[in-house]
Structure formats: C-alpha cells, structure tokens
Structure 1
Amino acid sequence: MDLIPSSNASYKDVNYWNERYSKEESYDWFKSYESFKHLIKDCVSSSDRILMLGCGNSSLSEHMYEDGFQNIVNIDYSEVVINKMKEKYSNLKGMSWEVMDMRSMSFLEASFDVIIEKGTLDAMLVENSPWHISDENLALIDEILTQVSRILKDNGKFISVTFTQPHFRIPMFINEKYRWDVEQKTFGEFVQYFFYICVKGRPLSQSLLKKYNKAAS
C-alpha cells in the first residue's frame, strides 16, 4: 500500500488509516521529538496529564515518556492502530490508548493539563488549499477545537505542531469562545515548522485578534 492515497480526501477516512496502520509500523509527521523537545520542556511539566490527539503510530508519546512525561493518554479513531500501540507499549505504566474520535470526545470537562496534536489538523485539511478552506472543513476544525477547549483545564495548554504558517493557522485558533490566547514559536534548521501554544483562561490578545481577523478576511 502506498503511503500517499489516490485522493487527499482519504486522509479523513478511517478505512484508509485502518488499512495503512495494518501494514505500517511507525511514521512521524514533520520532525521528530528531538527537534522540538526544548519547546515542550518550556511549557509542559512532567506531572501534567497529557492527551495526544490522533496519535497514529508516531513515536512522539514514546519519546516524551522516556523524557519524563509519563502520564499520557493517546487517542485515535483507528481501532487497528490503537490495538497495535497498546500491545507495543504495554510495559509503559501511565501510558494509555483509547479508540476515540476527537470530534466527540467522551472525557469530562477540564480533564487535561496539556493537549497535543502533531500533524492531525493538517491531515484534516490536506484536501484544501490553505488559501481556500471549505466551510465544511472550517466547521470540522471548530468542532475539534471546541472539544479541546472543553476538556482542557484552566491555565492548560493546547499545543499544535505543524508546517502551516501563522497567517493560515492562527485565524482558526483565535475564537473567543475557546477562552484562550495564542503564542507562536518556530523550530527547524532548513525548513521552518511552527509550534502554537493556546493557553486557556488567558485573555485573547486584541492585537492578535485584529491582525489575524484582517488576514482571514
């Protein structure tokens, strides 16, 4: 099976992922944890309860666990990959794996200190040009972020690791109903990647709102 599907729409199809994960052992989108662990350590505590959105078969949770972050819940809507990862890492106490759709998560409100996604939102949007996101996909991202905000504790952090530039990604994050402010950092030597931190309970910067609302219009 080719890693690249015949249609980009397949990236939103659980059947594509189930087939892929049945044959693929591990794959990491963008850079490895080593490339941005300094940013993680700046804003995440080893005692934090962490949720990994759309974990797939990435080694990110494993490497964070080895680096002292050992209270990690991993979710993915692919039962195939969750079963494989649960077996692969059965020896890591404190690490758990659950089949769950991030659009309708069953966790209680304020369940997590930190929520991380790495390339998951990008996969949801890959069928669109960054200049022209469909109303359907904007609604999908809003559905996901509303869930993220609901289960994130006050002063908790939602971290998004992506190659998507600020003028495309930040407008999706700056909605006052999420009750967070947005910070942007970068990493990477030759290709620049972006590390967005949304801090819940911090007032949304009005200058940020003004700047990116204009960029989005």
Structure 2
Amino acid sequence: MADDDVAPRTASAYLDPTYWDERFGKEEHYEWFKDFSHFRHLLAPLLSPSISVLEVGCGNSRLGEELLREGVAGGITCVDLSPVAVQRMRDRLAEQGAEGVDVVVADMLDLPFEGESFDLVIEKGTMDVLFVDSGDPWNPNPETVDSVMKMLEGIHKVLKPEGIFVSITFGQPHFRRRFFEAPGFTWSVEWSTFGDGFHYFFYTLKKGKRSSESNCYQPTLPAAPSINMFHEELESEDYIFRTNVDEL
C-alpha cells in the first residue's frame, strides 16, 4: 500500500478516530519512527522474561511480536483506539499461533487498567499525534498541554513503583522534558538517540528514581530561537513531525 493511499490531506486528521479506522482497514503494516531492529540495543537491556509490558497506540506495528521473540513472558498488552487495528492485530497473531499478547481497544487518555499494573510501558510515536495541531511547539495550546498531561498521568499511574516508561519520538528534549518533569511524576528522565543521519529520541523514564536536580518543570518555555528543524532524511509520513520554528 503506497503512503499516498493512507496519508491524510491535513495533519489535523491524525486526531480523528475515523481516519485511523479507515487507514487500518487498508494498511497491513507501518512502523512510525523505525522498527524494533533500529532501537533494539536500547530497549533489550530493559527486558526480562518476567516483566509485564503495555504498548500504548499499537496500530499495526509488529512491536508486540518482537517483544515475544525477545522472550518477554510476563504478559504483553497492546492497546489502540481503533477497533479495526485491534481486530486485525488479533487476527494476525492468531494466524501466527502467537500467544502471550493481549490486544485491547482503549483510549490512551483513559487507560482501563488498575494502578501499578505494568513493569514497562512503551509508546512509539503515539504521543506525537497529540502535537500535530498544537500551535507553537515552544508554547503549545492549552488543549494540547491538557491532553499530553492526561496521557502521562495515566501512564505514571499504571506503572509499578519501579516501572519504566519508554517514549520513542521525534520530539527533542527541549520540547518534551517540560512535560516529563512536571510535578507529581516520580520518574527520572534520560534519553538516547538512534538512526543514521537523522536521529530519533529514545526516552527512558524510571519511576521512583527522580532526583531533586530533575525538578525543573516550567509551565512555559523560553522564547523560540531562530532555528530550522526540517530534515530531508525523514522517510514517508514522518514529515508531519517536522518543525520549522522560523515560520511559526
């Protein structure tokens, strides 16, 4: 399926649930921000056979199957807002005879799980959808801020006391740390990069490990510098997360 067959006309369409149902009805597989092989060296050290994992916004990614192959046996739960995506993933797993992955229809802003349910929560490009209509990335509109904080609060809640949240994204630290380090979150914030030429960001947030030095949350960010963040090596649909600050 060609990218033009599934890409929306405007970035704001990514916020419309009906768009995703239509897309997942046509598209077999797509990996936002690279597939597992590109960041395995960063994620594998966080895995063990006994851990329970939640993937938020699984879409038609194959990350769940990759985690099974890595030996995760404590339970893998994949959630997505689209019933179409969920059913197609269930069908795919059944065809493979794969066991150990539970696929659930759920809203990332209202996760239907008890507190302290998971050792590891992963989101790959899911939170970025909330920013497609955010306005100035240095000072997102209040609706975007509310949605991002609601998502993070839900993830913090379902993590076990020493659980880990992994966020894989295009968003750079000067845009994301303000959210990750908000009051009430007890996780430490670290990040690495991966990718050739253009780098994606792999955030590792360890619950209960926050130091006093991390408590630098700011409700707003400094005035935007004159920078241009366009990059020609972004493949296919990842273009929606390019940011040209000069034109804001």
Query: What is the TM-score of this pair, normalised by structure 1?
Result: 0.93
- In structure 1, the gaps of 5 or more residues are none
Q: What is the Cα deviation at residue 111 of structure 1?
A: 0.3
Distance 2:8 2:205 in 1: 32
Task: Indicate how the Cα distance of structure 1 residues 53 and 152 shifts in structure 2: closer, same or farther if over 3 A, else same.
Answer: same
Equivalent pairs: percent with the same residue? 37
**Of 17, 21, 44, which residue of structure 2 is paired with 1:18?**
21
Correspondence 1:104 to 2:110: yes
Correspondence 1:69 to 2:72: yes
| 2:172 matched residue in structure 1 | 165
Query: Mapping of 1:127-166 within 5 angstroms?
Result: 127-128=133-134, 129-166=136-173
Query: Mapping of 1:74-85 within 5 angstroms?
Result: 74-85=78-89
Distance 2:142 2:198 in 1: 30
| 1:95 matched residue in structure 2 | 101
Distance 1:120 1:214 in 2: 22
Correspondence 1:57 to 2:60: yes
Instruction: Let me know the Cα RMSD of the aligned residues.
Output: 1.7
Q: What is the Cα deviation at residue 204 of structure 1?
A: 3.8
Distance 2:12 2:211 in 1: 33
Distance 1:213 1:149 in 2: 19
Aligned residue pairs total 215
Distance 1:62 1:205 in 2: 38
Q: What is the Cα deviation at residue 209 of structure 1?
A: 3.3
Moved more, 121-130 or 9-18: 121-130
- In structure 2, the gaps of 5 or more residues are 223-248
Distance 2:156 2:219 in 1: 24
Q: What is the Cα deviation at residue 147 of structure 1?
A: 0.5
Distance 2:130 2:7 in 1: 14
Q: If you compute each CA radius of gyration, which structure gives the higher value, 1 or 2?
A: 2
Q: What is the Cα deviation at residue 113 of structure 1?
A: 0.2
